[in-house]
Structure 1
């Protein structure tokens, strides 16, 4: 796993890559914003000079004043629009990057992180970064105003400016301590957001189970969920309390500065005109300084969000170069055999859960055979088919296709020979068919699976996927059938079917698919139908055994 330094180095590279296409826009927006801020500060200087001028306003005051106001307001508008455009582009770029990270991340990495954390990054982190970028124009403008005011204060009186720097410096030191502690709260908040996402996922995906089980329902509501909500509330209160005290420190520093310069006015020999101008600028500068201080925590949150994205990015695969490459879609060719030679995959122990190792496995899957994989729950059946499918790269040993080793460069092309219906499958409503495929060929399959009265195919998509669990799984089989791949992997497909469709699956569908030349790999617990297989292998605690055949029961 990448260390913190490597992870942050990658974070910086990703940030530069995101900013590179819009760097001219960001630079122009920043320059205009800074110019707008300086123009606003100059207006203050002109007004203060005019107030204390003898003989009324100078002839050029009005046009200069209007020009500066126009520059300040117009520059603020242009800078804001530029930042909004940059923010949108960065947000879009981040969303695309996150999608690419998920598409290219190793499957076991996604499983290890957890779906709730991946969703939190998609839903929260990208939005946090986009919001922060949209606030940058205000930061630049107010920084320009602050810089201009500081220059004007220095011109008015160097001694007063020195007092201001001293008092504000002490206040900033205390404020920085408070803000750093607040950043710890923001990091905790982001971790709590992952936990909340997990609980909300339980609420939505487990709604039926929760409705049936009062004890579980109340345990989730009054236990885990309430505990997380209260922890989040306490953390929010602590964080905002620290931030409020940091803002209070700034205000105290402002009033302490005014008190100090008024107190030592006579000692320093300060003219009333200089003093009033200095106090005017001090009071005016409170707003831009407050804005700058307010956005600093947002920048901290954005940094934490980007670090979260970087943690996911650190596990992104770089070994499969063709995952996102635009390649010509070809109809998968017929294959002769798939061989696993000394292949193994291990899961380390995590949080008290014991580790598990599958293999080493030696297995050959021959063209056109029906292979059943059986075994107890947890014996490694699903891990084995993920190795066969190329979803898990072998940690030891080699995977072969027609005698040629499957490498990182060829693994994605290898996977294109397979269609699969997983036990926890996802049913897409659109169809991705090989060239020359005829969706109308699915009509007979829909009829056979008793779906024709529910589902039709229009414009390359199913008319509906809002079906019962068994119907959805039958529709997933139709989808896999239409893909026309030479190897079909079915993970406990019959588990959610009634006896009629279970019998149909084993006694008619599998033989029909075999006659079409398909190779079929089936995970099954239906021992009464094991005779439908050409070969049955039995997994026991990660080891593979040939199982005795049994006669099918009609």
Structure 2
């Protein structure tokens, strides 16, 4: 039992529970201990009544009191641990969301949505299941320990035999546990792949619908194979626990037989104690697999948090502003799978100033989007430096750089609300946010499709071009000094494409905004103040607007 108690204290989930209010946790544990002690008292009263040592009425009263305490403790501890468990689950999920949001963008890309979703949904769920069962585990452990102590008081011979059986059972479980943990951890990794396939089931629905053969192969080979891997690995791990617990119970059965048929005076009392002990012991052994699954889940969560890296510093309050943003000899490298090699961006020298529209042009794969991510502070430069008003930007104040930008990237995401945009310069809520949002929506001819009420979008079920217009509304509401548009007009019809280049960009310029527009629309290049052309990650041309086409 000492080993089991140490395992509880050292269990990763104990760390989660320790984050909850300590008074509440201490009370819940005390109630569990009281319930377990009451269970031991019940068997003591029964044993004494069978032995005829005391008056039956007093023993019956004691038994009833112990039974009431045990039932009350079970109810109270169950409710308290349910509260603690849900609170701990909330802490885990909130901590993960905060750490991932605070992680460097490259780390977020490397983690991938499937792995994080797997951990937050399935692994966090296993933790919740275990915490709901925690009071039963504690009470059963107390009852087992109490019965062993009571057995020592009845007969040292029986206690020594029971201790040997306990040690043998612990050793068997430990050996099985080492094997099972490896299988459960492998099942968790297989589940990450499964969540990736489930994500593809939705994101690739168009392609799968258009090709039944491909859809069938995806279901049978990819999705079904991942499901089978998870099932096989989990089942193999759980089988080890079933075998280990069964062997442990077989040892207990053997001990009951030995106490009944091969010992002396205390045999009857010891046998009764062990017959009573079998129920909490069996329940305890049955919960051990769930306890270890929860441990594996917590360790997987810890690995995700570790892979997320240290949180980046956050910019202080205040409205961002700038006079000049400069890239000086900036370079960045990353692995490009299509070429099975490293792509190098830069060194690049580039300046942005308020009231200026710059178009970034070049062929596919020339590094335009990567440059935009470096410019906005999503990727840190691996060479050169970025300056804001002549002051270099370091890793500790990268968020100050990001705070200057509103961006609509080609792979943008629309959130269901516009929360976080409802504060005025003085920090007070802006009660006109819905009105301003709906006015912009109407201007972009989306009023018949979507509206904003209490900061929430009525729908996101729009075409790609309409979604981009809605993303532009959000960017306007952010009202940052610099705007980045990554091929925004690519999904617009000719009318809105013309509105974007001839109306919206000039308006932003007139409002003193700096604009970097990644574009292939050479018919509009002459509307920019400058065109910056990239080829293979290098700036090959910076053209003034006097020429009709920057690409000429």
Structure 2 length as normaliser, TM-score?
Answer: 0.89
Aligned-pair CA distance for 1:196: 0.9
Structure 1 match to 2:296? 304
Aligned position for 2:4: none
Contact 1:531 1:551 in 2 (8 A): yes
Q: 1:497 aligns with which of 487, 492, 495?
A: 492
* Partner SS, residue 430 of structure 1: coil
Q: Does 1:81 align with 2:73?
A: no
Check if 1:391 corresponds to 2:412: no
Structure 1 equivalent of residue 424 of structure 2: 435
| Separation of aligned partners in 2, 1:429 and 1:234 | 38
**Please, which of 246, 259, 277 is the counterpart of residue 285 of structure 1?**
277
Kindly report which structure 2 residues correspond to 1:234-249, keeping only aligned pairs within 5 A, or say none: 234-249=232-247
1:81-480 paired onto structure 2 within 5 Å: 81-265=79-263, 270-271=264-265, 274-318=266-310, 320-322=312-314, 328=317, 330-333=318-321, 335-348=322-335, 353-431=340-418, 432-433=421-422, 435=424, 439=433, 440-441=435-436, 445-480=440-475
Provide the C-alpha distance between the structure 1 equivalents of 2:176 and 2:58, rounded to a whole number of angstroms.
Answer: 47
Offset of residue 460 of structure 1: 3.6
Tell me the equivalent position of 2:548.
Answer: 551
Conserved in 1, the CA contact under 8 Å of 2:191 and 2:226?
Answer: no
For residues 498-537 of structure 1, the aligned pairs below 5 Å read: 498-537=493-532
Secondary structure at the aligned position of 2:21 is classed as helix
Following the alignment from structure 1 to structure 2, what is the Cα–Cα distance between the partners of residues 253 and 360? 72
Structure 1 residue 151, shift from structure 2 partner: 1.0
Counterpart Cα distance in 2 of 1:491 and 1:352: 23
**Change in 2 beyond 3 A, CA 1:349/1:248:** farther
Alpha-carbon distance in structure 2 between the residues aligned to 1:259 and 1:93: 48
2:172/2:248 contact within 8 Å kept:
no
Structure 1 residues 348 and 311, CA gap change in structure 2 (3 angstroms): farther
- 1-side partners of 2:346 and 2:296: how far apart? 40
Instruction: Give the whole-Å Cα distance in 2 for the aligned partners of 1:223 and 1:236.
Output: 20
Q: Please tell me whether the aligned partners of residues 146 and 288 of structure 1 are also in contact (alpha carbons under 8 angstroms).
A: yes
Measure, in 2, the Cα distance between the counterparts of 1:540 and 1:12: 55
1:13 deviates by 10
**Any gaps of 5 or more consecutive residues in structure 2?**
1-9
Distance 1:319 1:182 in 2: 34
C-alpha spacing 1:433/1:403, structure 2 compared with 1 (3 Å)? farther
Name the CA distance, whole Å, in 1 between partners of 2:14 and 2:279.
Answer: 30
Task: Kindly indicate whether the alpha-carbon contact (under 8 Å) linking 1:319 and 1:409 is maintained by their aligned counterparts in 2.
Answer: no
Per the TM alignment, residue 444 of structure 1 is displaced from its structure 2 partner at its CA by: 5.8
Unaligned runs of 5+ in 1: 1-10
The alignment covers a number of residue pairs equal to 531
Q: Structure 1 residues 86, 442: CA separation in 2 closer, same or farther (over 3 Å shift)?
A: closer
Q: Distance in 1 between matches of 2:474 and 2:62?
A: 72
What RMSD in Å do the two structures reach over aligned CA positions? 2.7
Q: Distance in 1 between matches of 2:340 and 2:283?
A: 49
Distance 1:13 1:363, change over 3 A: farther
SS at match of 2:40: helix
Distance 1:177 1:17 in 2: 26
Equivalent-residue separation in structure 2 for 1:522 and 1:87 (angstroms) = 49
Partners of 2:209 and 2:325 lie apart in 1 by 46
Contact 2:326 2:351 survives alignment (8 Å): yes
Following the alignment from structure 2 to structure 1, what is the Cα–Cα distance between the partners of residues 309 and 413? 23
Residues 1:71 and 2:49 are matched in the alignment = no
2:43 equivalent to 1:44 = yes
